[in-house]
Chains A and B, each alone.
Chain A
């Protein structure tokens, strides 16, 4: 049986009660939204889940305004990103850096090491650049979609992704060469 598209589910969620359709949307996108918020909150899983919950509730409240001008996924991430930004404005940003725990293949020690290196390299980027790189490399959004999510010009996104990716690749390659020579 063909799966209903996000946009179809959003239309159903907006019509009448629509809870079942909305539950399917939450289930479909919870992983990506929560993972992104974990990155934005520097690995604070509890805070990230609270923000994700708040974002989905906002989405439910305004699902009638979703016009399909962007994909549902982009629209949902825009809400999640703005929820995160409002929370930062409400409270002082956390200074303590919590070590990020990614869901990686458990049997792979190498995978865990790679993700730890990747996180360390990401921390060397400026926040806006880091967010752009995350949305592009880890969530697969296009430059215009990232601009829509973050509310910044497409040109800025392009520059951030280009320079950020290059810097990450340089850092990671240097570290890997270092390990190989050791």
Chain B
């Protein structure tokens, strides 16, 4: 007996299911296509949020003294290391956050 007799027999016996209006039902229930890719929309939301936040921070907070303090603090090894780790953590979190949006 041939090795593939079962496949051959199944292929011979099974015939395709008639459509019976199935395709029409599916097409009638499709939601409208959303404008733009969701991922791209999320990118724009993040970009706009970051720009707005940065502009607000620059306008309302004394940026220069804060930067001076940060530069001085960064020269202390454990603070500098902590800042670097913080930046790395933020970079790692950016992608999951983008996906979540």
Binding site for B on A (CB under 8 A): 17-19, 22-23, 26-27, 30-32, 34-35, 49, 52-53, 56-57, 60-61, 64, 102-105, 108, 111, 114-115, 118, 137-138, 140, 165, 168-169, 172-173
B86: min CB distance to chain A, Å: 33
- Inside 8 A of B15's CB, which chain A residues have their CB? 103-105
Binding site for A on B (CB under 8 A): 1, 5-7, 9-10, 12-19, 22-23, 25-27, 29-31, 33, 37
From the candidates B5, B14, B30, B37, name the one contacting A103 in the complex (CB within 8 A): B14
21 residue pairs from A and B, CB less than 8 Å apart = A17-B33, A19-B27, A26-B22, A26-B26, A30-B17, A30-B23, A31-B17, A31-B19, A35-B17, A52-B22, A53-B22, A53-B29, A57-B26, A102-B13, A104-B14, A105-B13, A114-B9, A114-B13, A137-B7, A138-B14, A169-B5
- Inside 8 A of B16's CB, which chain A residues have their CB? 31-32, 103
Contact status A168-B6, CB under 8 Å: yes
Contact status B14-A19, CB under 8 Å: no
Contact status A137-B29, CB under 8 Å: no
Question: Which DSSP category, helix, strand, loop or mixed, fits chain A's interface?
Answer: helix
For the complex, give the distance between the alpha carbons of A138 and B17 in Å: 14
Residue ID in chain B nearest A38 by CB atoms? B17
Residue ID in chain A nearest B9 by CB atoms? A114
* B1, B5, B33, most chain A CB atoms within 10 A: B33
Contact status A35-B14, CB under 8 Å: yes
- Inside 8 A of B6's CB, which chain A residues have their CB? 137, 165, 168-169, 172
Contact status A61-B10, CB under 8 Å: no
* A115, A137, A168, A169, most chain B CB atoms within 10 A: A137
- Inside 8 A of A102's CB, which chain B residues have their CB? 13-14
For the complex, give the distance between the alpha carbons of A104 and B25 in Å: 24
For the complex, give the distance between the alpha carbons of A31 and B26 in Å: 13
For the complex, give the distance between the alpha carbons of A159 and B12 in Å: 26
Residue ID in chain B nearest A165 by CB atoms? B6
Contact status B31-A57, CB under 8 Å: yes
Residue ID in chain A nearest B28 by CB atoms? A53
Residue ID in chain A nearest B33 by CB atoms? A17
For the complex, give the distance between the alpha carbons of A65 and B63 in Å: 42
Given contacts A60-B30, A172-B6, contact A34 B22 (CB under 8 A): yes
- Inside 8 A of B13's CB, which chain A residues have their CB? 102, 104-105, 108, 111, 114-115
